[in-house]
């Protein structure tokens, strides 16, 4: 058993070096005409901390038995977590995640867990079009990150420190919901960037959209489009009208606050605009290629 685990670790050590190296190459070769300096600076800080810790370990910590043991425990925990997340990523090619941290948190908080995973074909085209129109209109074209939206959000947040505007794509939200936790810490955002790059590299756009529509929270304790369609309109997701799909999409920024039933003011004001955007995107061949 020890020999098997030892070989697994050796194989995955090579995998993690290639994976992280490929990600860093991607991250630091993002077009310079788009200002995403904050993200790059965060990565540089993280890399600097890791390099310092490695140098301290090789020149000092490994000679001190207690610190050496602590460092080895931390390494084994992190490395095992990477291996598990990599298998979770491979599982995502075929299956929806058994449970996410957000879903588990909903149970712990007493909000319940209502969900019903369905296939991409069972979702119908209206809800697919609605979430693209609402959340990420460049979804067919980008590689996981809407750099123009990120630039605008950074400038807006600097001017309005008490109001936070996000620029997360469907791919980023999917990566966060499957692999990570909710929140706005620099650590989580950095890991979100890493896992977004990973799923965009390995999964198709249709797979990413299917996972998103099955795991996104769409009401208090309501996860996925089938559960939402049943709860709000007593029908299957594939039978949602454009207006019903737009209402559900409108609640996604904060589904606990922006309710579909009863119809909150925010959803009532926003879903008409989403309907207009749906009509504008309906003829886009790249969008149609994904949603059909």
* pLDDT tens series, the chain, 292 aa: 667 777 877 888 888 888 888 888 887 776 554 444 555 666 667 667 777 777 776 777 667 777 777 777 887 888 888 888 999 899 998 899 998 989 999 998 988 899 999 999 999 999 999 999 999 999 998 888 876 766 665 554 555 455 545 568 999 999 999 998 887 777 788 888 889 999 999 999 999 999 999 999 999 999 999 999 999 999 999 999 999 999 999 999 999 999 999 999 999 999 999 999 999 998 899 999 999 8
Domain span at 161: 101-291
Same domain, 172 and 282: yes
Final residue before a domain boundary, out of 29, 56, 91:
91
Q: Spell out the alpha helix ranges (H) of the chain.
A: 2-28, 37-59, 65-91, 101-108, 125-135, 147-159, 170-179, 186-202, 205-215, 225-233, 242-250, 265-281, 285-291
Q: Say if residues 96 and 214 touch (Cβ distance below 8 Å).
A: yes
**11 domain-assigned:** yes
Same domain, 64 and 136: no
**96 domain-assigned:** no
């Amino acid at each position: 058993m020890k020999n098997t685990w030892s070989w697994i670790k050796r194989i995955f050590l090579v995998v993690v070096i290639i994976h992280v190296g490929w990600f860093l190459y991607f991250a630091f070769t993002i077009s310079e005409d788009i200002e995403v300096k904050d993200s790059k600076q965060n990565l540089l800080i993280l890399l600097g901390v890791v390099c310092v810790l490695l140098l301290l370990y090789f020149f000092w910590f490994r000679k001190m038995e207690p610190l050496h043991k602590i460092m080895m425990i931390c390494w084994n925990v992190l490395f095992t977590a990477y291996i598990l997340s990599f298998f979770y990523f491979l599982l995502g090619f075929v299956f929806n995640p058994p449970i996410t941290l957000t879903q588990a948190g909903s149970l712990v908080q007493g909000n319940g867990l209502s969900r019903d995973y369905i296939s991409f074909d069972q979702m119908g085209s209206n809800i697919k079009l609605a979430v693209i129109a609402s959340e990420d209109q460049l979804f067919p074209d980008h590689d996981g990150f809407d750099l123009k939206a990120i630039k605008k959000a950074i400038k807006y947040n600097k001017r309005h420190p008490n109001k936070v505007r996000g620029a997360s794509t469907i791919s980023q939200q999917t990566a966060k919901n499957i692999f990570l936790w909710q929140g706005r810490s620099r650590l989580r955002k950095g890991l979100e960037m890493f896992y977004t790059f990973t799923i965009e590299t390995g999964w198709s756009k249709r797979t990413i959209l299917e996972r998103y529509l099955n795991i996104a929270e769409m009401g208090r304790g309501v996860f996925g489009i089938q559960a939402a369609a049943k709860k709000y309109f007593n029908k299957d997701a594939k039978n949602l009208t454009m207006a019903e799909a737009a209402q559900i999409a409108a609640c996604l920024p904060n589904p606990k606050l922006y309710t579909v039933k009863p119809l909150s003011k925010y959803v009532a004001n926003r879903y008409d605009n989403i309907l207009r955007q749906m009509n504008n995107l309906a003829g886009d061949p790249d969008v149609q290629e994904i949603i059909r």
